[in-house]
Amino acid sequence: MTVLPYLIAGWIFLIGVYGLVTSRNLIHAVGCLAVAQSSTYVLLLGVGYRRGGTAPVFGDAPTDSRVVDPVVQALALTDIVVGATVTALLLALVVQLRKRHGTVDPDALSELKG
């Protein structure tokens, strides 16, 4: 087992969080959040990978063959769908903010301050 997928997932997450923290544009922030969330794809694929594993279709495979974990694959697909939905919702909210307030700069949104 190698630690490379975990290091890559951590690196992608840190890049996304750094972009999110330094963003001065809400559209850029949504994109950086999507990048940070995409690190979970790499993490899930790293967890479910088996060296020499085959697809988890047991029709003609011997019972002692190594297969990859199908649950992790299902979680990765679910993660992709949820990530796309959240990104679309956040972008729709940013479009509404632009229509109502005329800006996508978080500092310029003075009406939202408490």
- For residues 16 and 14, what is the distance between their CA atoms, to the nearest angstrom? 5
Q: Which stretch of DSSP H or E encloses residue 64?
A: none
What the chain holds in terms of domains, given with CATH numbers, is 3-53+64-109 (1.10.287.3510)
Question: 1 or 94: which carries more pLDDT confidence?
Answer: 94
Look up residue 90 and give its two tokens. 């956040």
**pLDDT at residue 88, rounded to an integer:** 97
pLDDT digits (tens, 9 = 90+) for 32-45: 999 999 999 999 98
Look up residue 84 and give its two tokens. 């796309």
Q: Using pLDDT thresholds of 50, 70 and 90, give the confidence band for residue 99.
A: very high
**pLDDT at residue 73, rounded to an integer:** 85
- For residues 85 and 87, what is the distance between their CA atoms, to the nearest angstrom? 5
Average pLDDT over residues 102-109: 84
pLDDT digits (tens, 9 = 90+) for 17-33: 999 999 999 999 999 99
Q: pLDDT at residue 1 above 70?
A: no
pLDDT digits (tens, 9 = 90+) for 47-87: 887 787 777 776 666 667 777 878 888 899 999 999 999 99
Nearest to 34 by CA among 48, 47, 20, 55: 20
pTM: 0.81
Q: Using pLDDT thresholds of 50, 70 and 90, give the confidence band for residue 111.
A: low
Nearest to 44 by CA among 12, 88, 90: 12
